[in-house]
Amino acid sequence: MTSTTTSFTKFTFFTVAALVFQITGLSLFVFGFFPVKPALSGVSGWESFFAPGCHSVENQSQTQMEMGLSPYELKSLYQDLSLIPPLFDRLILMVIDGLPAEFVLGKDGQPPRKDLMDAMPYTHSLLSSGMAIGYHAKAAPPTVTMPRLKAMVSGAIGGFLDVAFNFNTQALLDDNLLGQFLRIGWKMVMLGDETWLKLFPGLFVRHDGVSSFFVKDTVQVDKNVSRHLENELSRDDWNLLVLHYLGLDHVGHIGGRSSSLMGPKLLEMDEVVKMIHLSTIQTHDNDRGRTLLVVVSDHGMTESGNHGGSSYEETDSLALFIGLKNQVSISHYASATHNSILQVDIAPTLALLYGVPIPKNNVGVLISGTFDCLTDHQQLRALELNSWQLYRLVEAQLPGLSCGDFSCSGFIDDLGSGSGECSGSMEKILRCLFMNAANLHNSWKYKKETGFESREDYRSTVTAYHEFLKTASEWLSRRVTDKPVPLLAFGVVAMALSCLIFLGLITCMSREVYTGEKQHLSGSSNSKIRWCLDEAFILGVVLILVMSMGSSSMVEEEQYIWNFVISTLYLLLLRKAVQSHSGRSGSALFLKAQNKRSDFQLCAIFLLLISGRILRGWHQGGVNWTHLPDISKWLEQAGSNLIRSIQLTSGLLMMGLGLFALFLFVTNTKLVRVVALFFLISGFLVLWHIMEYQDNEFVSSDYHATLLAQIIYATLGVGTIGFVVALPWLMPIQISSTYSKHKINSSTLVSVDIQYKFPLLEFRDSSYLIGLAYMLCWCLLQLLLQQPINSMPIFLLLMQIFTSMLYYSSSGPQNKEWLEVALLYYVGMAGHFALGNSNTLATIDVAGAFIGLSSHSTLLSGILMFIITYTSPMLVLLSMVMYISVKDTSYLAIPQSVDLEQFLKMMLGFPCLVPLGLNSILLTAYTVVLLLMRNHLFVWSVFSPKYLYVCTTTVCIYIGVFVVAATEIYIYMVIAFRSKIQVSISNGIL
């Protein structure tokens, strides 16, 4: 094995080693850092009705007490122990997916807009008459359905990574309301979102589930629920009826809050509320018992209709209790609508209303307004049961917490005033607050027995309980499992080591390439290669990005950094081109050729600047300034016809640009015509889909639209793979002094020795066509999947990349290769934000992820969602195949450098290492930032979502680099094999 081959082997080994280190470190950090909610095993039982620390109770096994009891006997036991009579016998839980509370209750003390009130007249009449009371129920991020449903039925806040599990829901094993209801013999029915069936398999006696992910369907998905409603309301064989309506959430995903479908959908939901109220609540049927209707939403939505983040619009969910007419007294409309709770407060409230134990891992606090009909003793008993449950959960997190032994009645021997100040550690504060509330309650009981209780004593006790409950709930909500510091440290070290290896490989590559270029240019007057301003700025960008990561505001508005970076780099290239144009000397013929090339470079840079400015203004982006005007908002106001015209125009321009790029390639005209025909067929199929089926608001799932989309997927997929496999075999190889040329890069500096041993130009021809196929097929796919408003930005991104290729091909060794690759990487990141993406989960486009799917598939929809979100970075990575074909490689003309594996290393080195190296720096830096910010106020709402994006970007880089490397290695192997056969034939061996 030669030393050169050894060098290539080491290069490959260190690259793979760096990837292994990075993947290992990232995996360890993610699973060590992100919270797994603290949970107590088992379920709450009869012991929850006794004070914590009551040894005579807790020493008995729950199964010993409850085993053998029938559901009816267990229900009676719970009622006897709770000392609170159940207020209701049946529950209807109506979930309106994605409904913001302000649509029903208003915002900041103001009622909802008139059009919203007109859309739900019956609901507002219930609120104004005191028959209903509503709450703004704040949901915890991530605001997606599955973790929000878990929070409502268990009272526990799920882990942040539940956003990933939302697309592959598993059965809920933690203690929850439905499990408690099942134990006392309740029969349950579910209609709507099939997430309930996945969370509670086998629990419902009847069910009709629908998929929540076909967001184009806004009609049938709700009709499927309502068609059963009349029949279910007339039956008396159920205790819990779950209705989960998805249509309003789908309306939001399609058209946003201001969609023309929003009003009719709200009116439809209002009619459902009216039907339930008139048939089961207003008309009390003694055989069926009292029924409570609870209308909730799992989350809100942004102006664009998305959700997942932590903004007020996304976390403002609804909790509406209907059927409390004789239990609460509403003096005016505002008191029924301007109350705020946490979403987790729903679980303990319903548990106490129906006389079952509060779920064991609940962190919520009962909603006091729902218990106003109870006596003072019963209301304090409800607060006491809630405090005991939270105390047990706190005690599990703070094992040293102890308030001494309680008597089984809940009395403590010391009957102090309970008004002492609480300070010190959280453990001492919680103990003090709990003791204060317990002592005040015991004192109130004692005075009541002796007939000396006062209203002030009652209010003091309620205040003390609420102070403990609020403090404990907030502490538990923030509490996560202790992070394994050694594991996190090892993960960071592994990622840092990976980063150093990548940077070391890039440095070694730069030295090798610099040596080759210096030898090649040694005879010219321009042999001195200097450090340029644009190169220094490229590296400075990394420092700017790392420094900005520590600011939550800069994380939220990261797009401004990338816009600044790209604009500045283009201006630096313009400066270099102008200096090059004005500093030339030589013969008239030479100057004419050089001036022509400089003029072309200037035009290319101006085109990049103009397209970049349009992209920057297309979407306002970010979090805090999305309300400001931009091009996309102006076009949406102009109407759907204009947007569709822009879509069609973008598609035609994309096809025209592709044909232009194809016919710059003049070798093998027949082959080019076949490729061009494929692009035209694919392009017109996409345009057909746009004209016929891509209506933003009024077309739900359509069989023909789905079939056409599947045909497009098959055409693009099979065609692209076919070109990759076939083109290296079909490209003609000529072992002669006449070689195929690109107009785009007509370098004739490749020696006959190299061409004899390895046909470089055939390799570049194949790379050029395959790279162009990758880019055009990817853009046509995005034209199908992206929001219609993003069609023009996709074309502008394609034009920017192709213009950059033209600029690089004409600049020769003027720009270093690592700089060109880094600039393309930055273009991809700027384009990511130009398409409307941000660092919040709310901007993920869910609607496009189900185009062409005839049935729900978590895997396929997840892949499509990834493709839509990472359109721009992946486009840039795929373009590296084409970049390899147009970059300057004149330094390879030295005979000593002629080694096939060394050649492959020089071709692949920078296009693969620079994206990996840049991403490695950002990944490692942000990992350290996240670790330092672990106690920051916005760690879960700002920094953690950003880290998920960083991790997913890393996966995108891996996929893109793998595709580039695999493609080029395959081309290399085929061309080398065919070249060897061709040489053998020429020498008469075969």
The pLDDT, as a whole number, for residue 697 is 47
Identity of the amino acid at 71: P
Name the packing angle between helices 760-785 and 944-986 (round to 10°).
140
Who's near 646: CB < 8 A, 6+ residues apart?
A: 635, 788, 791, 792
Q: Read off the tokens for 333.
A: 């409309």
Contact 806, 744 (CB under 8 A): yes
Beta bridge partners of 320: 134, 295
Q: Read off the tokens for 942.
A: 């700002």
Beta bridge partners of 294: 93, 321
| Chain position carrying tokens 């939001």 | 252
From residue 68, how far is each of 41, 58, 64 by CA, in Å?
Answer: 22, 19, 8
Q: Could you tell me which of 265, 268, 205 has the C-alpha nearest to residue 241?
A: 205
Q: Read off the tokens for 452.
A: 């000396």
Angle at 464 between CA 458 and CA 465, to 5 degrees: 90
* For residue 142, cis peptide bond before it (omega within 30 degrees of 0): yes
Q: Could you tell me which of 380, 382, 393 has the C-alpha nearest to residue 430?
A: 393
pLDDT digits (tens, 9 = 90+) for 412-440: 444 445 556 787 778 888 889 999 999 99
pLDDT digits (tens, 9 = 90+) for 353-390: 999 999 999 999 999 888 888 888 999 999 999 999 99
The pLDDT, as a whole number, for residue 162 is 59
Q: Could you tell me which of 440, 360, 448 has the C-alpha nearest to residue 175?
A: 360
From residue 319, how far is each of 141, 193, 273, 845 by CA, in Å?
Answer: 17, 18, 14, 27
CA distance 172 to 224: 25
pLDDT digits (tens, 9 = 90+) for 860-905: 888 999 999 999 999 999 999 999 888 766 555 444 444 666 777 7
Task: Looking at 626-759, list the stretches that DSSP marks H as alpha helix, in order from N- to C-terminal side.
Answer: 631-638, 640-663, 669-692, 703-730, 752-757
**Pairing label, strands 188-193, 240-245:** parallel
Q: Read off the tokens for 183.
A: 């134990």
From residue 803, how far is each of 503, 576, 578, 605, 608 by CA, in Å?
Answer: 28, 17, 18, 8, 7
Q: What is the DSSP letter of 586?
A: S
The pLDDT, as a whole number, for residue 705 is 84
Q: Read off the tokens for 948.
A: 């998920």
From residue 83, how far is each of 60, 77, 385, 454 by CA, in Å?
Answer: 21, 10, 10, 22
CA distance 862 to 846: 9
CA distance 822 to 825: 5
CA distance 882 to 429: 65
Q: How many residues does the chain have?
A: 990
Beta strand segments in 323-424, E: 339-342
Q: What is the DSSP letter of 405?
A: P
Cβ atoms within 10 Å, residue 369: 18
| Grouped pLDDT means (10 residues each) for the chain, 990 residues | 56 91 93 70 87 60 62 89 88 95 88 91 90 91 85 82 57 89 95 91 91 73 92 92 94 87 94 92 66 94 82 91 64 62 95 93 91 88 94 83 54 50 81 91 86 84 94 82 75 94 89 63 48 79 87 87 90 82 56 68 90 90 79 86 91 92 74 89 93 61 82 94 91 57 39 49 86 94 92 95 87 75 93 90 81 81 92 95 79 50 79 94 93 73 86 95 93 85 68
Q: Read off the tokens for 441.
A: 């309650």
Q: Could you tell me which of 606, 601, 611 has the C-alpha nearest to residue 807?
A: 601
Contact 138, 477 (CB under 8 A): no
Q: What is the DSSP letter of 279?
A: I
Longest dimension (CA), the chain: 119
Contact 112, 106 (CB under 8 A): yes
Beta bridge partners of 189: 206, 241
Q: Could you tell me which of 276, 187, 299 has the C-alpha nearest to residue 225?
A: 276
Burial class (CB in 10 A: 0-12, 13-18, 19+), 660: exposed
The pLDDT, as a whole number, for residue 480 is 56
DSSP-assigned states of every residue in 172-236: --S--HHHHHHHTT--EEEEEETHHHHHSTT--SEEEEE-S--TT-SSHHHHHHHTTHHHHHT--
Residue 137: phi and psi, rounded to 5, are: -95, 105
Q: Read off the tokens for 662.
A: 């194809």
Q: Could you tell me which of 530, 523, 507 has the C-alpha nearest to residue 814?
A: 530
From residue 862, how far is each of 197, 703, 705, 791, 847 by CA, in Å?
Answer: 21, 21, 20, 21, 12
The pLDDT, as a whole number, for residue 600 is 79
Q: Could you tell me which of 650, 713, 663, 660 has the C-alpha nearest to residue 848?
A: 713
